[in-house]
Amino acid sequence: MLYEISEPSKELGLCGQDVNYVETLNLLDGGSIYKCKIDIRSNAYKFQSHARAYVWSKNDLRWNLVDEIMYSNMKTEEALYCNNFRKARLSAFKQDRDTLVEKLKSILS
């Protein structure tokens, strides 16, 4: 069973038509610690949005894609930048974030 073992680092940023949510967290499975990243983008065009989960590879020194939610299945609203960036709270990404964390736990355990 995987557990989150540290307070995640969360960032919310605006870049052009993108509102980006990036979170890094550590998952513990027995003696193994997995450094993971959640990357969710809300774009003006739904097909340019994404929700992805990565795990850090110490051997390759890079983030490896573990799973993603197809843009058509994302719960995060598109065009968040149009709805006043200040209203784009972390909660706007919560459903997709929680789904990706559950997928990480399932795949890595």
Chain segment 86-97, per-residue pLDDT in tens: 555 778 889 999
pLDDT at 109 over 60: yes
Tell me what pLDDT residue 87 has.
56
CA-to-CA distance for 75 and 92, rounded, in angstroms?
Answer: 9
Q: How far is CA 100 from the centre of its chain?
A: 7
pLDDT at 81 over 80: no
pTM of the model: 0.85
* H helix and E strand count, the chain: 1, 6
Tell me what pLDDT residue 1 has.
55
Tell me what pLDDT residue 13 has.
75
CA-to-CA distance for 104 and 73, rounded, in angstroms?
Answer: 17
Tell me what pLDDT residue 63 has.
97
pLDDT in tens, 19-62: 888 999 998 887 888 999 999 998 888 899 999 999 999 999 99
Q: Sorting pLDDT into bands at 50, 70 and 90, what band is 71?
A: very high
CA-to-CA distance for 1 and 89, rounded, in angstroms?
Answer: 30
